[in-house]
Structure 1
Amino acid sequence: MDRSSDRLPIRGGETLASAMKQERRGRSHPPKSSSSSISQSSRAPLIMGFLSCLAWLYVAGRLWQDSGNRLLLSELLQKNTGNMPKVLTVEDKLMNLGCNEVARKSVEAEMDLTLAKSQGFLAGNTSSSTKLLAVIGVYTGFGSRLKRNVFRGSWMPRGDALKKLEDRGVVIRFVIGRSPNRGDSLDRNIDEENHQTKDFLILESHEEAAEELPKKAKYFFSAAVESWNAEFYVKVDDNINLDIDGLIEILDSRRGGHGLYIGCMKSGSVISEEGQQWYEPEWWKFGDGKSYFRHAAGSLIILSNNLAQYININSASLQTYAYDDTSVGSWMMGLDATYVDNDRLCCSSSRQEKVCSVA
């Protein structure tokens, strides 16, 4: 029997044994690529856990911050609640109803009433601090410088004499508004003249024009009341000569009077035909008779302190008519005014006993 053939099964057996050994070795030591996959899969839960912790910390921080804000707001609300009025005022209720404008007007009306009382408009409240007897306003215009110089050289004092008259309690001023073209040569000329003579009352809010003459009365009495505290305020046209001593005599005899409306009282027909002299655009308001109410002639109008105060307080709502004398008369109609008709104040004639006369 050949020995070489006997070794073959042994080699075959060795080969089988070694193959089995290698297989067992392979099972106990897996390949490197498989180990890397297992390692990566084990890290994922750790990353997720870390991110969850961060999210939890963020949420916890926000909750803590919101809690602090709520605590602060709660403290502020509690503090402010302690300062709130327990009972709603009338103003609060008006605000809740959306009536702020009504409330504002009510307050303004109450302030006007208080002012009227304090300044002697109501009966029995004549101010005891009145120092001057009268403020006399002489109407004038931009083109009337020559006429003003004539007055300064005749019945109207100038310079030191004007100051002495003021010491007696009588102030005299030329009354004029501003040019429609503010700051032009007309305004500059008046300012220059006033700088030299110091005898103007310039109505800054009034536009000097013929059609604005009725409104000038409102501005004059208002400005005079605000500038001087006097018993009487006198409006005089620029074509009138005055007997100052005679006027002072009349006014002094009426000192302390309440609600005095003094002048040369008249009436007259209302002209309704447009284009005619003395045409009144509001003619239909005077009834079928077309007659004006009783009023002081426009050449010279005298109002006591409280009536002038009334014009000042209510200036914005006072109706004006075509002429200043009828306008002032209409304002007096609704008041408890005492009408004083003095023939010495009728300036149409130049009799000796007259206080005024046409220049």
Structure 2
Amino acid sequence: MDGLPTTMKSERRWRSKPLQASRPSIFMAFFSCVAWLYVAGRLWQDAENRTLLTNLLNKNLDKRPKVLSLEDKLTVLGCKDLERRIVEAEMELTLAKSQGYLKNQIQKSGASSGQKLLAVIGVYTGFGSRLKRNVFRGSWMPKGDALRKLEERGIVIRFVIGRSANRGDSLDRNIDEENRSTKDFLILEGHEEAQEELPKKAKFFFSAAVQMWDAEYYVKVDDNINLDLEGLIEMLDRRRGQDGAYIGCMKSGDVITEEGKPWYEPDWWKFGDEKSYFRHAWGSLLVLSKNLAQYINVNSASLKTYAHDDVSVGSWMMGLQATYIDDNRLCCSSIRQDKVCSVA
């Protein structure tokens, strides 16, 4: 009998241990169920929201603004039609210029209406070169009535000059006063007369000359030479009707790459590893036929200039069907007896 209680106590301890061990499992199971229900509820809610949004988008699909392309926007704004008209106008303007219908195209005194001149000769000059101009007027260049009679023969000669950097100053006033007396200037209103702007002067001269006079040839002359005027006229008269003529004393030569040296070319790297200029009419006198001068006029805004005006003109001729005419009579520094120019 004494062993009975001991046995019963052992049985009770054995039965209570599984009950105590199962409680954490029950709690874990409970929390797992709760977590599963929470996650399932959120997923169901998100699915409902997506369904609701999809239905709303489908319902308002026709009401959404259309995404316009750039072409659609141009059409809506009317810019496409405007762009087309601008392009057409630019093409018509270019064609009109090339055919000689140019703004402010006038005939100067001494050239009768409809008369085609043989040549327009532009003599480059500067503000400080009045003495040189007077020397020319007393030597190879006619003046006064003789200049007007020369125009009747089809030859126009003008001193070519731009405007002062300080517009309207004494430099400009002196030129205007001299021109009123001699009437032998072509004043380039859009050009600033300065040494560093000299390459651009060619563009302004040929553009202005081809607008003002209808001639076979346009001649650029520097003011450091004397001209055999009758010899030049005879030479050009023999070449009447020759389109695409680029006439001068042709050469190429080395490109000066060292800054500070005479004839330095800032764009020297554009002339390749050999550093040699392309063939061009160099020196103080060159001649262009009318169609080449017109090309410069039409395209002057986009033509590149280099450090020297003769190189600049030569670069413009490279892409054209120009006929290069190397005439030694235009080499002013040569020792030929029949040359038409000589160093002053």
TM-score normalized by the length of structure 2: 0.72
Instruction: Indicate which of 121, 128, 144 corresponds to 1:136.
Output: 121
Q: Contact 1:265/1:295 (CA < 8 Å) preserved in 2? A: yes
Match of 2:66 in 1: none
Matches within 5 A, 1:1-359: 98-99=79-80, 102-103=83-84, 106-115=87-96, 117-119=98-100, 131-349=116-334, 351-359=336-344
| Distance change in 2, residues 1:258/1:161 (3 Å) | same
1:306-337 CA-to-partner distances (Å, cap 9, x unmatched) read 00000001000000000000000000000000
1:171-225 CA-to-partner distances (Å, cap 9, x unmatched) read 0000000000000000000000000000000000000000000000000000101
Q: Contact 2:199/2:312 (CA < 8 Å) preserved in 1? A: yes
Q: Any idea what SS the aligned residue of 1:268 has?
A: coil
| Distance change in 2, residues 1:100/1:277 (3 Å) | farther
Q: Distance in 2 between matches of 1:171 and 1:159?
A: 13
Q: Distance in 2 between matches of 1:307 and 1:345?
A: 19
- 1:103, CA displacement in angstroms? 3.1
- 1:277, CA displacement in angstroms? 1.0
1:288-318 CA-to-partner distances (Å, cap 9, x unmatched) read 1110000001300100000000000100000
- 1:110, CA displacement in angstroms? 1.3
1:67-111 CA-to-partner distances (Å, cap 9, x unmatched) read xxxxxxxxxxxxxxxxxxxxxxxxx98676844675355224412
Q: Distance in 2 between matches of 1:215 and 1:183?
A: 21
- 1:162, CA displacement in angstroms? 0.6
Q: Contact 1:217/1:324 (CA < 8 Å) preserved in 2? A: yes
Return structure 1 stretches of 4+ with deviation > 4 angstroms.
Answer: 92-102
Q: Any idea what SS the aligned residue of 1:231 has?
A: strand
Amino acid of the residue matched to residue 95 of structure 2? T
Q: Any idea what SS the aligned residue of 2:342 has?
A: strand
Unaligned runs of 5+ in 2: 1-72, 102-113
Match of 1:15 in 2: none
Q: Any idea what SS the aligned residue of 2:253 has?
A: strand
Q: Contact 2:98/2:294 (CA < 8 Å) preserved in 1? A: no
Q: Distance in 2 between matches of 1:185 and 1:246?
A: 38
Q: Contact 1:165/1:171 (CA < 8 Å) preserved in 2? A: yes
- 1:264, CA displacement in angstroms? 0.4
- 1:119, CA displacement in angstroms? 3.7
Q: Distance in 2 between matches of 1:170 and 1:94?
A: 54
Let me know the Cα RMSD of the aligned residues.
2.1
Unaligned runs of 5+ in 1: 1-91, 121-128
Number of aligned pairs? 261
Q: Contact 1:94/1:103 (CA < 8 Å) preserved in 2? A: no
1:29-84 CA-to-partner distances (Å, cap 9, x unmatched) read xxxxxxxxxxxxxxxxxxxxxxxxxxxxxxxxxxxxxxxxxxxxxxxxxxxxxxxx
- 1:273, CA displacement in angstroms? 1.2
Q: Distance in 1 between matches of 2:257 and 2:153?
A: 46
Q: Distance in 2 between matches of 1:202 and 1:316?
A: 19
Q: Distance in 1 between matches of 2:246 and 2:160?
A: 20
Greater C-alpha Rg: 1
Q: Any idea what SS the aligned residue of 2:251 has?
A: strand
Match of 2:18 in 1: none
Amino acid of the residue matched to residue 267 of structure 2? E
Q: Contact 1:112/1:313 (CA < 8 Å) preserved in 2? A: no
TM-score normalized by the length of structure 1: 0.69
Q: Contact 2:283/2:332 (CA < 8 Å) preserved in 1? A: no
Percentage of pairs with the same residue? 73
1:99-134 CA-to-partner distances (Å, cap 9, x unmatched) read 4675355224412442255249xxxxxxxx661000
